[in-house]
Amino acid sequence: MKYKKHVFICNNQKVAPKKSCGEAHGNELVDAFKAALAERGLLKEMRAQRTGCLDACAFGPALVVYPEGTYYGNVQLSDVAEIVDSHLVNNQPVERLVLNV
Amino acid sequence: MKYKKHVFICNNQKVAPKKSCGEAHGNELVDAFKAALAERGLLKEMRAQRTGCLDACAFGPALVVYPEGTYYGNVQLSDVAEIVDSHLVNNQPVERLVLNV
């Protein structure tokens, strides 16, 4: 396995009024995760990157963490540090944001 | 786990002469995987979608299959059916295309 944790963050932009994770918000989340991993010296063992629709649009902004396949919804920039420190580093998912999909 | 198999296909386009998986080729691969899954009635249990750079640019076009985290390189449209039937359905990776990254 190339990465201990691999985070895929939706940046899909649908046409309003359809709900979507959104290119702007998705890309901001990607940047925030990359910065958080870099700050912690984790870029060789973990990766965060953009992806297309994760089929959780109603619960977006959405992301998924592999290899465990944990889906998160309604993720805000202010949640990034907690997801990194609790889940990616310490394997404790942030339950209040986990989607049961 | 929402999906038994979740395939992320790079469609990143770098500026030439840098080697990259390429938006055109990546999107064609995404479409081909989606079509192959649909033909086999697998869309509820498996998903294929675009993603950004997988950090395997030199070996592209690249993709990764989760939850096992198997990286593939130099994937052509003609390889899609084999990857779906052998790996996604029967859990036998297509070794000639697997990357040891």
Q: pLDDT tens, B29-39?
A: 999 999 999 99
- Residue A48 tokens read as 């965060």
Q: What is the pLDDT of residue A22?
A: 85
DSSP assignment letter at B86:
I
**Which residue pairs from B45-48 have beta carbons closer than 8 angstroms and sit at least 24 positions apart in sequence?**
B45/B3, B45/B4, B45/B5, B46/B3, B46/B4, B46/B5, B46/B6, B46/B7, B46/B88, B47/A55, B47/B3, B47/B5, B47/B6, B47/B7, B48/B6, B48/B7, B48/B8, B48/B9
Q: What is the pLDDT of residue B69?
A: 98
**Contact: A66, B71; criterion CB under 8 Å:** no
Contact B71, B98 (CB under 8 A): yes
Q: What is the pLDDT of residue A66?
A: 98
Q: Domains in chain B, ordered, with CATH? A: 5-99 (3.40.30.10)
Q: Is the ipTM value over 0.90, yes or no?
A: yes
Interface test with B, best of A13, A31, A43, A64 (most B CBs within 10 A): A64
Minimal Cα distance from A72: which residue of B?
B2
Among A88, A83, A84, A78, residue whose Cα is nearest residue A98 = A83
Residue pLDDT, tens place only, A29-77: 999 999 999 999 999 999 999 999 999 999 989 999 999 999 999 999 9
Q: What is the pTM of this model?
A: 0.96
Q: How far is B17 from chain A (nearest CA, A)?
A: 23
Q: Is B54 on the interface with A (CB under 8 A)?
A: yes
One digit per residue, pLDDT tens: chain B, 101 residues? 999 999 999 999 888 777 788 887 999 999 999 999 999 999 999 999 999 999 999 998 999 999 999 999 999 999 999 999 999 999 999 999 999 98
